[in-house]
Chain A
Amino acid sequence: MDRLQLPATLDQLEPARQFIMDAAERAGVPMASQVKLDLVLEEALVNVIHHAYGDAGGTMELRCLERVHNGQRLFVAEIRDRGPSFDPFDAKPPDLDADLDDRPVGGLGIHFIRQMADDAGWRRENDENVLHLGFALGPVLE
């Protein structure tokens, strides 16, 4: 398993992205899924960077692994932080039909994660928030 710990700051977005995208490429994640991973990864990282810690700041840890889920081999990127327990999937889905005046600025990141990852979830483990993003290696089993 590859892992990397970084300060949870916006200037670490690019090195964090490089680390995960390189691992995804090595694992053989199909190109179409790499594009989706790129997006949902940013959404997950930015959530941690903006919300996990107050002004004190903190770190985020990235892990890349492979797992079999429902008979499907997955590449899994985990994003871990030590902030207060927070399940991003608790958030109310955004109103996609709202017009310009009523559209809140935000709330779309978790929607993209739900829509675009082949598997995604949150768990609390050893005082850490663990968000995982899974993408199928090989054809997706229905």
Chain B
Amino acid sequence: MEFVTEPHGDALAIKVSGRMDAVTAPEFEQACQKQIEAGARKIVTDLSGLEYISSAGLRSILATAKKLKGVGGEIRFCGLSGMVQEVFSVSGFASMFKIHDTLSDALGG
């Protein structure tokens, strides 16, 4: 799994690619934790390059979302497709979070 972070105004875009599984998911959580400590409050996670996510990945996302909410922040998602979209749907995450088609949609509004 790889991620690239890019500031967009008051938001931080994190583009995740590869596989978010039980081995790699903690890396995502730690990277987000670092950004929150550095002051990030609005994180947009671009999952268009993500090939695979398991419940361990969702757990890291949920933990990150709770931390952000605790400091008055928010996490949004964009670029879901294939099995990642199905996992978000089957888990109920698709209705719990703000999901957008594209990064620019997620950054607006």
A-side residues, CB < 8 A to B, are: 10-11, 13-14, 35-36, 38-39, 42-43, 46, 49, 94, 96-101, 103, 105-106, 108-109, 111-112, 115-116
Contact = CB atoms under 8 A, between A and B. Distances in A.
A49 to B, nearest CB: 8
B90 A42 contact: no
B92 to A, nearest CB: 3
A112 B90 contact: yes
Interface residues of B, number: 22
B11 interface: no
Contacts of B71: none
Interface stretch (B36-44, B49-57, B100-108): B49-57
Given A39-B83, A103-B96, A111 B52 contact: no
Main secondary structure of the interface of A (DSSP, over half): helix
Contact of B52 (A14, A38, A97): A38
A101 B95 CA distance: 14
Contacts of A43: 54-55
A108 B91 contact: yes
Given A108-B55, A115-B90, A35 B22 contact: no
B87 to A, nearest CB: 7
A52 to B, nearest CB: 15
Nearest to B91: A108
Nearest to B58: A108
B90 A105 contact: no
A63 to B, nearest CB: 21
A43 to B, nearest CB: 6
B62 A105 contact: yes
B59 interface: yes
